[in-house]
Structure 1
């Protein structure tokens, strides 16, 4: 299983959100570029980057995002406000490894299917779930899709991955969260990256044994230091190693 250390940007700063509330972001006083470099130094093979300003329709972080792409030393999976063909093509031309689309997929699924065919293994579908519905527009508006129907609509599309986010991830019932991930992973023909369910290294161990979970986004736990990235990477790598049987 692959760990994607995750950085979220707002007004040029690293932030984390509580249940997707853009108006109540927790600000972390760290340098975004140096933080991206630290992900690579710890051994990460990819990083995930979300631009919250782009979700709001502003390009104030665009230059910083480009700097991170150049400086990270590992491929960047970029999401946030990418809602047109031009935006997808722009960021791929700028060097991102993958582009994440959610609202665009709900609005214009045919375009996303076309883009995925043109850029195989570079388009990622975001399935952001709140109380059984797929949310769009930065988690603010419910779509007409259930997560199961959304996945089925893209079942035969050559996507790089599907990111499933449990927006209500602060609820105490971890079993319910893992149940959501497990159910959606089982119904997806594309490998699933789990988001919003990792707080400690034990959560990674549990995710690693869910069928079709190929990775996990880990952000807030890293910034809060409830999880060490090197340890997380080690646990994810060793999860399925064969264990010698005692004679």
Structure 2
């Protein structure tokens, strides 16, 4: 299973948020480049970078992303505020292996279609962030009436082949996964599935493996030493 360290960037620093709340941050690295290089040195095969300020419309951390891109030699994906073909092109030109979109997949599926046509399914990943199975968007600030299960089928039909599912109720809490929900997502998604939100231990990663989930994004658990990344690379 592909275990992907998360480097979430807020106000130029590498942080983790509690349940996605920008006011409840823990700063792990003042310089996100150091975080990225640390996980690269630990053997990570990919990094998951998120511009939290761009996701919520409070600003952006493009200069920091550019510094990370220049420093690392492993593939990385970038999400947070990627809501146009131009924004996606910019992130890919910066050096990202692929872009991660969420809000645009819900609010502007035609733009998602344009991205897939322009860059291909291997370079456009959709992240469905949800409270359980209820999708949230705009940096998790806006609730929708959509279900992960129904929306994932629509995404597959549109040509998406890699899906990230994050349970925002548990993200940054170290509460462990809601495996019943992940099992439901696995049952409806035929493509490559990456899960996150609450991963707290090796047992959570093993449980995902047993469900046939191909990837996991983890943040606080590896930053705080509860998971040794070297065991999973």
Normalising to structure 1: TM-score of the pair?
0.87
Change (3 A) 1:51 1:44: same
| Helix, strand or coil at the partner of 1:145 | strand
- How far does the alpha carbon of each residue in 1:166-209 deviate from its partner, in whole angstroms, 9 at most, with x for none? 111149574xx111111111101221100113211121111111
Provide closer, same or farther for how the CA distance between residues 222 and 110 of structure 1 changes in structure 2, counting only shifts above 3 A. Answer: same
Question: 2:81 corresponds to which residue?
Answer: 81
Partners of 1:91 and 1:20 in 2: CA distance: 23
Partner residue, 2:118 = 118
Shift of 1:6: 0.8
The runs of 5 or more residues in structure 2 that have no matched partner are: none
2:95 aligned with 1:95:
yes
* Distance 1:47-1:173 versus aligned 2 partners, 3 A rule: closer
The answer as to 2:146 corresponding to 1:156 is no
Q: Structure 2 CA distance, aligned partners of 1:173 and 1:16?
A: 16
Aligned to 2:105: 105
Residues 136 and 142, structure 1, Cα contact 8 Å, conserved in 2: yes
Shift of 1:58: 4.5
Q: Quick check: which one's strand share is greater?
A: 2
**TM-aligned CA distance change 1:69 to 1:27, over 3 Å:** same
Alignment of 1:69 onto 2:69: yes
Which residue number corresponds to residue 133 of structure 2?
A: 132
State the partner residue of 2:11: 11
Q: Is the 8 A contact 1:97 1:122 kept in 2?
A: yes
Q: Kindly indicate whether the alpha-carbon contact (under 8 Å) linking 2:3 and 2:218 is maintained by their aligned counterparts in 1.
A: yes
Runs of 4+ in 1 over 2 A off after TM superposition: 56-60, 156-160, 170-174
Runs (5+) with no aligned partner, structure 1 = 234-247
* TM superposition shift of 1:30: 4.8
Q: How does 1:155-194 map to 2 (within 5 A)?
A: 155-169=156-170, 170=173, 174=177, 177-194=178-195
User: Secondary structure of the equivalent of 2:69?
Assistant: helix
| Structure label with greater radius of gyration | 1
CA displacement at 1:151 relative to structure 2: 0.4
For the 8 Å contact 2:174–2:198, the answer to whether it is kept is no
Q: Residues of 1 paired with 2:17 and 2:55: CA distance?
A: 14
Q: 1:32 to 1:173 in 2, by over 3 A?
A: closer
- Structure 1 counterpart SS, 2:179: helix
Supply the distance in 2 between the matched residues of 1:35 and 1:204 (Cα, whole angstroms): 21
- With structure 2 as the length reference, what TM-score do the two structures score? 0.92
Is 2:223 aligned against 1:223? yes
